[in-house]
Amino acid sequence: MAVYHESFKIQSDRRPTFNDVTAEVEAVLKKSNIKNGILLVFSQHTTCSILIQEASDDVNYWGTDLLMQDLVSVLERIIPTCRTEGQYLHPGPKHIDAAARRGEHPSWSLNTDAHLRSVIMGRSQSIPIVDGVMSLGEFGRVYFADFDQVRARERIVRVQIVGE
């Protein structure tokens, strides 16, 4: 039994961002030399998710796959974008003070919607590895989703593979 771990970085935007990271995850799998086992893709960021979905052939003005934009539209109905202080209970005054002590702008804490969306969508995906290939199905792709809309930033995608 072998265990292999690697991380890579991606850049998010100041809107819901969906990065197709399938090629990067496949490259990690190839480096691992593991042929059969389980591959875990994980986001350590609490406003982000890992999704498995097919790629849409069409994109909107911002370059977002239409299927992912449909997901954003559905989530918007369930968890509206945080637009003002007090819309959600979080962030409270203690959280805002702690963020200020870290040098963060107060508006950066107005991302409760992103935290809740991440909880619903999940921060990891487990993928079976069979004969050195991820079992994603014919159309499956691995996406890193960042639901945070308060600022663009660099994000880390973690991959861990266990197998033989």
62 has pLDDT over 90: no
pLDDT band at 87 (very low <50, low <70, confident <90, very high): very high
Q: Which CATH superfamily is domain 2-7+19-55+65-163 in?
A: YjbQ-like (2.60.120.460)
Q: What's the Rg (C-alpha) of the chain?
A: 17
pLDDT for 89 equals 92
Cα torsion at 52, 53, 55, 60 (round to 10°)?
Answer: -110
Residues 112 and 81: beta-carbon distance below 8 Å? no
pLDDT for 106 equals 82
pLDDT band at 56 (very low <50, low <70, confident <90, very high): confident
Question: If you average pLDDT over every residue of the chain, what do you get?
Answer: 95
What integer is the mean pLDDT of 112-124?
98
- What is the C-alpha to C-alpha distance for residues 149 and 15, in angstroms, rounded to an integer? 5
What integer is the mean pLDDT of 51-76?
93
More confident of the two residues 162 and 99: 162
pLDDT for 78 equals 97
This prediction's pTM: 0.93
